[in-house]
Structure 1
Amino acid sequence: MTSLDITRNGPLTLHLWQRPTSGARDSAAKSSVTVILAGGARQLEGGPTHDFQLHMADIQGPATVQWDVAGTEVSLAYVYDRETVVDDGITVLFTTARNAFSADRFLCHLKPPFGWMNDPNGMSMQGDRLHLFYQSYPHAQRWNAMHWGHAATDNLIDWVHYPIFLNPDSDLLADRRRVGGIFSGSAVPMSDGSLRVFYTDRDDDRLPCWEWQKTAVSRDWITAEQAVTIIEDRPPEPNIARDNRDAYVFKGADNKWKLLLGGAQEDCGVVFLYESDAPDAASNWRYVGIFHRERVGGGLPLECPALVPLTGAGEGLHLLIFGIIGVRNKEILRPHLSYGVVGRLEGDRLVDTRRFELDFGTDAYAFQAIEHSDGPIAIAWAANWFDVIKGHDFPSAMTFPRRAFFDGERLLTPPDAAVDELHDGILAEGSLTSSMTLDLQEGLADLILDGIDGAPFDIAFVHPDCTLRLSYDGREMELHFQMANQPSPRYLRQTGRINDLRILVDRGLIEVYADGGAHCCTKRFDSAVPVGAISIAFERGSHGTFRAYKLRPARNFIHYDENTVTRGR
């Protein structure tokens, strides 16, 4: 018998995922968990199912949770107080070796409290607090039936983790042959204080359309009410592919709600546009037309579209962001690329456009962007599908929040100034010389080089598990990366003369920003071992300066009852 002691007092909500053990999982198999309270016991009974199903109970702590592993398998359990969850988050009671928190990597970035993470979803502001949802599979560090995880931050750096926000239909989870779940989407704060989310519901067995668009409302921004379907059919265009997903909703200049969907048509990736005049955006959606086309060949779809107005020098322009799943740069084989298109919004089209690749390291995919007090802000998944191997664990994180500016010629996406809150003292500073080495105490650093003035350089990151080096010859910048002798694409960007460089180093991840974010490069490396040192060499003298900061870990507020988690494994 496995037993978890819940030591917290007071009224709590318990979320627990269970299923029959694999040996007993047949058409009649059931699972059972007992919650022992001061006033008696209650049973959480589950029927036959392939994947774990959520069971909820409002309890009065302290309490004990028990189950017999001969017939019941539990993957995850946590509790929270409805009155304090906004500030305190969840307390994790139980995980397994398959979905346990990755404590030893991505120390400065947002990462999941358990299981798998990919695309950011539903970025939205509640006062000064930013909420971010994300694609989640809570039961393993591998992609599977998609849920929506949820976290929030008051400073864009330190995060509080909330309950799983959206769960797939139980029928889909019960059948091992069905694939899908709650795919990507967006969120809009409503005038009554609620949050309305929009997402793609995917079921690979559903015909003729495997992707429907749905919406749900949350009154407290923590729990979602029953979702309703708003779009069942594919866009009424010829030669449309099956992929029509990742609903992004915003209010248009005509005061109508607009919805963007990524998809494909013949040899083009496309963004479709819908609109609704319903005040609550929960109905009356009609198709408008194709908002944007990208000639990518092969019927590859655009994914995760987002549209935000630019400010400053870009006033009057909009930025359209999307990813192209499956596409490769033909010369250097970089896969799954992300782009930003700057243009003028004219009616239902973006015109006079200019296209920019957002990250030549490619490990910044599926950007989500919204308007913010200081201009657009965006976050991406700090990984790439190229590196995901079926049957292998794949811990990952989100990038640092990035700003978006257009200076009339270039799209700049530097890290938000909030990253400076991670500074924990100066590691070293001085003038740039022909060569220098910086020892990193914990493998965490923010290295800033100014006044490079086009001088060629070579920067090597000392690491036992991979080759990681950044070179610049005065015209091109290249990240040289190889992991365990595996073949790797070339991560190359034509930059011209650069003057400044910023490199943020975390365990398992680096982010590079050159010329104020005009050239960005993010690279995840599959290791929890920290970078030991950074070696910098300039081909010729430079009159520039450098400063390297130590970084503190981000505060991912995940409360663990260590006794219960340890006993549960």
Structure 2
Amino acid sequence: MTDMDQTAITASTADTVRTLLVDLPVNATLHIWLKAVSADRQGSLSFTSARGKFGEVLVTNADENEFRIFHVFGGGAIELSYDTAETSVSVAYWFTPADVLETGITVIHTNPVNAAPDLPGGYHFRPPFGWMNDPNGFGRFGGRPHLFYQHYSHGLRWNTMHWGHAVSSDYLRWRHLPIFLFPSEEIAARPDKRGGAFSGSAIPLPDGPGIRVFFTEQVQDRQPEQQIQLTATSGDLIMAGQADVILPHRPENQGLTLDFRDPYVFKGPDGLWKMLLGSQSDEGGVILLYETKDHTAAGGWTYVGKLSVERRYKTTATECPCLLPLDGLATDPKTRWALIFGLMTSEDPDTRRKNLTMAAVGWFDGRSFVKEYEQELDFGTDNYAFQAFMDGDTAIGIGWLANWADAGPTIDFPTAMTLPRRILLSGGVLRTPPIGPAESLRGQMLDRTRLAAGQTVKLDSGAAEILFELNDAGTPFELELDHPDVRLGVFVDDVGLWIRHEVEGAGASPDYVARGARPKRLRIFLDYGSIEVFADDGRWVGTKRIDGFAPIRSARLTAPSGSVANATVWALRL
């Protein structure tokens, strides 16, 4: 169990009774998930103040935790008590609705099975508890960046999907908010991995404050459609309201499988709302395009056609598509757009890397996309389900720092989001450098001379940034990173830019390589469980998850004499 902030646990006369003590402000709201230990006995949690017991929540489900809301209007010291012989409590947190966007939630309790890892100095976004995968609804709403994400609260394994939620001022320092979007009661009743509220996107409400979200509802074995598209609104940006079905079935006569998911909604060059969806057909993975003349995007969606077809890499479904203008106004026909999408089950036969993410650059007229060129978004592949939006005139995106090659529903898998990145066109190529505020993570400078001289630089923790510049682009080098469990490093040879990731006894590692890359300047971000490589202002980017949370202990750079112009190592912190 993890207890945070003002919470304390007090002893009880009964060995099986657990009491959580919390000091609440006035008008506090508690969110609690609990379940009965056995099907024949009701579970309960009681609320007591100095004046005695004043409330109780009850549950009968012994299969899965049930969600309960409790309001405490008076504030003060409160005891939450339950008998562990009858009741299991998974998660409890409180917040005050009036200022939760400013203060976030305060977690009272989590179980060991869903507790977040304790990673001092770690700077990547992680949920406060439970499982996380795809980013959803990434955007700026009410003046602040918001991040929603695929989430299951009650363990570190994928299960019934909800939307978690956080808010920030700089895309780096996040305040956790209440769970935003819930699956149907039928799906949430059992932890049987049948579906839930899958990935989607969000747009501002056009006629007032708040947002409209779009998401896929998955129900395994539902007939005739397992995946359909829903929408819901939120005026307060805290919780979504009732969801309505907007696309109850796939387009007909298109040769599509049951895959039909991940709605991404954006304003097209013709002023209409557009929606992209990922699917699979007998041709390969496809991206479907819809549009509506409804200025609220609440309904009236009609199918336009297949925007893109992917026949390479043994791809089944195309997932998590997004499309955004890069070098001009969306309404300008000359403006280039970036179409970004994941390739589910794909495998590059040359490198054995799986689940690739592609970025196509071209022109979008509202109904068709003409590709100029295409490149991989990330040669490390652990930047999956990438979602981006236009923050003013700047494209900002973020991805899941993992992919389904080594994650799955049967293993504990606490993961993170990538560093947020800008998406820009420069020098005829698509670049995805880290956002400018990433420099604010720099704390103590650890080195300015030793790394460039070929000496070993010790790292204080797993959180560091290594920068170095070569006198000549493409000069071979090897950056060795001392990790207790993985042979880890970054190097350049005649083939290109590599991330070395080799685990003893695990068999041959895929080749994480950007072929033909001849970088001159590199920024390498290290954190507990990850490495992110940005070469030449994001011209080549590689993201790799490292199993476990053992920190990288030191770095050593080997390069031809006189070839390193400068090198700096920073310790990072939020």
Question: TM bucket by the smaller chain?
Answer: over 0.9
Residue 90 of structure 1, CA deviation: 0.4
Please give the alpha-carbon distance, in whole angstroms, between the structure 2 residues aligned to 1:509 and 1:106: 14
TM-score (norm 2): 0.92
Q: Which residue of 1 aligns with 2:46?
A: 34
Report the counterpart of residue 558 of structure 1 in structure 2.
none
* 1:491 corresponds to 2:512: yes
> What SS does the aligned partner of 2:45 have?
strand
Alignment of 1:52-91 (within 5 A): 52-60=65-73, 61-62=75-76, 63-91=78-106
Which of 358, 366, 375 is residue 356 of structure 1 equivalent to? 375
- Counterpart-to-counterpart distance in 1, 2:245 and 2:138: 21
Say which of 344, 354, 362 aligns to 1:335: 354
The 2-side partners of 1:319 and 1:227 are apart by 30
One-letter amino acid matched to 2:496: E
The aligned residue for residue 561 of structure 1 is none
Q: What TM-score do you get using the length of structure 1 for normalisation?
A: 0.92
Q: Which residue of 2 aligns with 1:410?
A: 429
Query: Which residue of structure 2 aligns with residue 48 of structure 1?
Result: 61
Tell me the CA shift for residue 264 of structure 1.
0.8
Post-superposition offset of 1:450: 1.7
- Measured against aligned partners, the alpha-carbon deviations of 1:268-322 in whole angstroms (never above 9, x if no partner) come to 1111011112232111111111111111365600110111110279970111111
1:155 alignment partner AA: D
Structure 1's unaligned 5+ residue stretches are 555-569
- Structure 1 residues 371-382: aligned runs within 5 Å: 371-382=390-401
Is residue 424 from structure 1 mapped to residue 427 from structure 2 by the alignment?
no
Are residues 1:138 and 2:138 paired? no
Answer yes or no: is 1:346 the counterpart of 2:369: no
- Once the two structures are superposed, residues 318-339 of structure 1 have per-residue CA deviations (whole angstroms, 9 ceiling, x without a partner) of 1111111110111121011111
**Secondary structure class of the residue paired with 1:546:** strand
The offset of 1:527, in angstroms, is: 2.3
Which residue pairs with 1:473 in the alignment? 493
CA gap of 1:512–1:297, structure 2 versus 1, over 3 A, is closer
Match of 1:420, SS state, is helix
Aligned partners of 1:323 and 1:336 also within 8 Å: yes
2:315 counterpart of 1:308 = no
Aligned runs of 1:203-352 on 2, under 5 Å?
Answer: 203-296=219-312, 298=314, 300-311=316-327, 316-352=335-371
- Unaligned segments of structure 2, at least 5 residues: 1-16
Aligned amino acid, residue 420 of structure 1: E
Distance 1:464 1:291 in 2: 46
Structure 1 contact 50–173 (Cα < 8 Å) conserved: no
Aligned to 2:14: none
Structure 1 contact 382–397 (Cα < 8 Å) conserved: yes
Report the CA distance shift for 1:111/1:229 in structure 2 as closer, same or farther (over 3 A).
Answer: same
CA contact (8 A) 1:262 1:271 kept: yes
Where 2:85 maps in the other structure, the secondary structure is coil
In the TM superposition, 1:69-218 aligns within 5 A as 69-104=84-119, 107-177=122-192, 179-191=194-206, 192-218=208-234
Number of aligned residue pairs: 549
Letter in 1 for 2:225: C
Distance 2:347 2:543 in 1: 17
For residues 285 and 431 of structure 1, do their structure 2 counterparts lie closer, same or farther at Cα, with a shift above 3 Å needed? Answer: same
* Per-residue CA distance 1:457-488 (angstroms, 9 max, x = gap): 01111011111121211441121212352132
Structure 1 residues 297 and 383, CA, compared in 2 at 3 Å: closer, same or farther?
closer
Q: Deviations over 1:367-408 (max 9, x none)?
A: 010001351010001112112255331111111110111125
The one-letter code matched in structure 1 to 2:360 is V
Q: 1:195 touches 1:217 (CA, 8 Å); kept in 2?
A: yes
The 1:175/1:139 distance shift into structure 2, 3 A limit, reads closer
Q: Which moved more, 1:271-280 or 1:86-95?
A: 271-280
Deviation per residue, 1:510-567 (Å, 9 max, x gap): 1101111111111111222211101110045315111222212x2xxxxxxxxxxxxx
| Conserved 8 A contact 2:216-2:227 | yes
Structure 1 pair 543–78 and aligned structure 2 pair: CA distance change class (3 A): closer
Of 158-167 and 445-454, the range deviating more from structure 2: 445-454
Which letter maps to 2:532? E
SS in 2 for 1:544: strand
Following TM superposition, by how much is the alpha carbon of 1:154 offset from its aligned partner in structure 2, in angstroms?
Answer: 0.2
The 8 Å contact of residues 273 and 293 in structure 2, kept in 1 or not, is answered as yes
Amino acid of the structure 2 residue aligned with 1:232: P
Structure with more relative contact order (C-alpha pairs < 8 Å, separation 6 or more): 1
Tell me the residue number matched to 1:560.
none
Match of 2:484 in 1: 464
- 8 A contact 1:267–1:298 mirrored in 2: no
Moved more, 450-459 or 86-95: 450-459
Query: Match for 2:571 among 538, 543, 550?
Result: 550
Alignment counterpart, residue 482 of structure 1, candidates 493, 502, 519: 502
Q: Find 1:368's aligned residue among 364, 387, 400.
A: 387
Q: Give the AA of the match of 1:114.
A: F
Moved more, 450-459 or 329-338: 450-459
Whether the 8 Å CA contact 1:110–1:159 is kept in 2: the answer is yes
The 2-side partners of 1:426 and 1:551 are apart by 9
| Contact 1:248 1:306 (C-alpha < 8 Å) held by counterparts | yes
Q: 2:319 & 2:127 partners in 1: Cα distance?
A: 22
Q: Per the alignment, in what secondary structure is the counterpart of residue 172 of structure 1?
A: helix
